[in-house]
Structure 1
Amino acid sequence: MNEVSDWLALCAVPQLGAVRIGRLLQHGPPAYLRQLSVEQLQALGLRPNQITTLHQPNWARIEHCLQWASHPDHHILTLDSPFYPPLLKEIPAAPPVLFVAGELGYLSAPQLAIVGSRSASIDGRELAYEFAAAMVAADFVVTSGLALGIDGQAHLGALKHGGATVAVLGAGLAQLYPARHRDLAAKIKEQGALVSEFWPDEKPRPQNFPRRNRVISGLSVGVLVVEAAQKSGSLITARYALEQGRDVFALPGSVRNPESRGCHALIKSGAKLVETPVDIFEEVGALTECAINNQLSRALPQGDDQQLPFQALLANVGGEATPVDVVAERSGQPVHEVMMQLLELELLGVVTSVPGGYIKTRRGKS
């Protein structure tokens, strides 16, 4: 049995969250805890069923995890791993185990998180894309949650402009969610990393997403909220960020837009009002010295005159949401090819996904 197996055995104990695992680890590493007697584990507060699971774990499931990690780009990080992100290790309830697909080095690089509404406005999506482009130009890794809306645009902005991005998932890495972002996740794995504290076969569950939000903020030196309703997961991320001592930034919006009310509430509560990426760079200080001195001219991406690809497909996307199957029918192409082309166009900032399909952005209309 190896050390990672001991960690997995500990994490598999039912009703034993990160906080209680942290307390148990004060008595010794997982291998030591597994050797304690029933009486000793009871003295540490474990119930009979928890002790049984710790002593007799589900070896088949643990082996399945180890097989998943045998892939060259897959990793299992434990709290004592030299590759475990140092900022994340500092937070209360740091995940005892992280599953990672991609490049480990990005997890310890300076990161800025961008989060926001799944049903964001067109302006909100474009701002998330543009701010992400500015952040990678300033040598930050952009971190978000792979959700539809703001999260997806933040990842796309980083990828398109040659930067790295980290996606923190609320499900196992073998159960990518949302399915619509499978192609995006594949690109993130190549140009960043996918991260989850949930076992690879863990399906998405509503209770998982608030938990993953503390990891998004925990990995980052600051969190930018682009658009958020008054009760949203983005505000949970912002709350975690404040508890973890991270900087919180918010973009103001129209008072008529309900997706701006969360940002306005954050600003009233002390979050920094942001208008340009420079506002963020100045606040986080030394980590962005290169951005302030050398990168400001690159803060927002500029359009170019290159001929846009996939003109036949693009001609079938307009100002109103067009479903993928309709685009495929109009362009006479298979749906899977249309999906790949739309993703490439989204990376170029030419189209954007909205509820009901895709529309052209301002750049696509120019």
Structure 2
Amino acid sequence: MPAVTDSEVTADSRADEIAAWIRLEQTPGVGPETARKLLAAFGPPEQLFSLSFSTLQKAVSERIARALAAAPSDSTLTQIDKTLQWLTQPGNHLLTLGDSGYPAALFDIPDPPLMLYVKGRLALLGTPSLAVVGSRNATAQGIANAEKFSEALSQGGLTIVSGMALGIDTAAHQGGLRGVGSTVAVIGTGADIVYPARNRGLAHLIADGGCIVSEYPLGMPAIAANFPRRNRIISGLARGVLVVEAAAQSGSLITARMAAEQGRDVFAIPGSIHSPLAKGCHQLIKQGAKLVESAQDVLEELRHYAATPAAMVPAVPGPAAGANRAAEISPVLAALGYDPVDADTLAMRCALDAAALAGELLTLELDGRIERLSGGQYRRLM
């Protein structure tokens, strides 16, 4: 479809065009597939809404043709006014499927969104990107991995794409913001809503230094069904998807599956065979995902896209020089290993009484060397 406008043109000059796109999206019975069918048959929405009922009925059912031929509803007019007002604010953009600035990568997916509400650096939607996803209930090690990997990959020239959920997504965005590639957050609400509320501060940082993207109309609240659907945009914008931690039934596996269907690379970080949050990653690796242990592993696979040679990026993660010395100093840390262990088993390994062991475990936990898991188990972090 030929471009109908430049995405950088002001909202005032695009008012009629924007109104027509919103009217199309808000028409009862018109879903994304029907909308694309109409656009292919009749051209841009401004032209489509000038057609007669009989002409429209050649492409769609009588019910939908009548809805298209009818005057826009009050709720649609309110949505148009709200959107035009939102576009007057600095950094806010609306990209339609007909815009020259619409992300080319999304044309490759089966169900590209009709419109993208964008807040922040629009140019990031055209840069080489990697999606980093994982559990909302991540472990401390998983969060550290997501943040460190994302920072190194961002420094390596890749924009980090994620969904601004708690856990791995949050850590990925924070790491991405510290690199030159920055980060893109694809959200499942309207672009004027921050969800979850705890990420309000992060949302402001991303809007300033990165980019927030939504396909949903302004004011759209957090509806459960919207989040799996937005995952196709997360994977669609990226050259590949890195899964950091995921349970066997994790929503992150949906993103990975969509990435594979879209022809993107899938990467996964392995974990302990005893960790429920490693099972999803292990499942992906069994199915052909690339096992990664460092940022270089990803950058080497995507070296044609990343701006910085992988050799220039430090290994992530890896035990710090002091970590091995810490293990030598602390018999508890040495005895713990990297698999979850309960306190009774650890006491037997170390030959310590309960009080002495509790003191050692508290010190190691406060130092960030171990984490306490559910069920009274502990796991080493470094």
Aligned to 2:162: 144
Aligned to 1:38: 53
Mapped contact 2:146–2:175 kept (Cα < 8 A): yes
In the alignment, which of 260, 279, 301 is matched to residue 242 of structure 1?
A: 260
Tell me how far apart the structure 2 counterparts of residues 164 and 239 of structure 1 sit (CA, whole Å).
25
Tell me how far apart the structure 2 counterparts of residues 297 and 203 of structure 1 sit (CA, whole Å).
40
TM-score calculated relative to the size of structure 2: 0.76
Unaligned runs of 5+ in 1: 304-348, 356-360
Q: Larger Rg: 1 or 2?
A: 2
Aligned to 2:249: 231
Tell me how far apart the structure 1 counterparts of residues 381 and 268 of structure 2 sit (CA, whole Å).
24
Q: Deviations over 1:260-292 (max 9, x none)?
A: 111111111111111111111121231136332
Distance 1:50 1:190, change over 3 A: farther
Tell me how far apart the structure 2 counterparts of residues 362 and 261 of structure 1 sit (CA, whole Å).
18
Tell me how far apart the structure 1 counterparts of residues 69 and 133 of structure 2 sit (CA, whole Å).
37
TM-score calculated relative to the size of structure 1: 0.79
In the alignment, which of 208, 218, 242 is matched to residue 190 of structure 1?
A: 208
Deviation at 1:161, TM superposition (A): 4.2
Mapped contact 1:137–1:291 kept (Cα < 8 A): no
Structure 1 segments (4+ residues) deviating >6 Å: none
Distance 1:76 1:43, change over 3 A: same
Aligned to 1:173: 191
Instruction: Report matched runs for 1:1-366 at 5 Å.
Output: 2-27=16-41, 28-48=43-63, 51-52=66-67, 55-57=70-72, 58-161=76-179, 163-288=181-306, 290-293=308-311, 295-297=312-314
Distance 1:300 1:163, change over 3 A: farther
Mapped contact 1:74–1:99 kept (Cα < 8 A): yes
Tell me how far apart the structure 2 counterparts of residues 205 and 211 of structure 1 sit (CA, whole Å).
11
Unaligned runs of 5+ in 2: 1-14, 321-367, 375-379
Tell me how far apart the structure 1 counterparts of residues 164 and 157 of structure 2 sit (CA, whole Å).
20
Mapped contact 2:164–2:186 kept (Cα < 8 A): yes
Distance 1:235 1:291, change over 3 A: same
Tell me how far apart the structure 2 counterparts of residues 300 and 86 of structure 1 sit (CA, whole Å).
33
Q: Give the percent of matched residue pairs that are identical in Structure 1 and Structure 2.
A: 43
Residue type at the aligned position of 1:138: G
Mapped contact 1:130–1:300 kept (Cα < 8 A): yes
Mapped contact 1:133–1:299 kept (Cα < 8 A): no
Tell me how far apart the structure 1 counterparts of residues 296 and 51 of structure 2 sit (CA, whole Å).
54
How many residues in Structure 1 have an aligned counterpart in Structure 2?
Answer: 310
Distance 1:301 1:202, change over 3 A: farther
CA RMSD of aligned residues (A): 2.6
Distance 1:14 1:267, change over 3 A: farther
Q: Which moved more, 1:202-211 or 1:4-13?
A: 4-13
Tell me how far apart the structure 1 counterparts of residues 200 and 65 of structure 2 sit (CA, whole Å).
36
Q: Which moved more, 1:56-65 or 1:108-117?
A: 56-65
Q: Deviations over 1:87-110 (max 9, x none)?
A: 112211100100000010111011
